[in-house]
Amino acid sequence: MWLGVQFRGQVAAGATRRWFTHSWPEGWRVVWLVVPTWPMVDGGAQIEWKVQVDRQTAGLLKYFIEVHNLTGAATDIEARFAVLN
């Protein structure tokens, strides 16, 4: 398994942002996790995310990561990945 951070960003209060990351080998099994990093909140969920994918070429995939901020304040996020094979 290989773990990493693909990008960091910020989502405004109540807003939704979308990022993409490209040229991932189609044979890799990739799992995405988006984590709020600031502000620290011990309560309800701060964000929701979803991942979509398209076939960029015969052997490459492009992932689209959409993050929705559920709070009333800007939230910093980190998009993490795990390559399982």
Each residue's pLDDT tens digit, 5-47: 999 999 999 999 999 999 999 999 999 999 999 999 898 999 9
Q: How many domains does the chain have?
A: 1
Estimate to the nearest angstrom the gap between the alpha carbon of 1 and the chain centroid.
18
Distances 39 to 13, 20, 28, 34 between C-alpha atoms, Å: 12, 24, 33, 15
Range of the domain at 13: 2-83
pTM, two decimal places: 0.93
Q: How far apart are the first and last CA of the chain?
A: 6
What CA–CA distance (Å, rounded) separates 15 from 62?
23
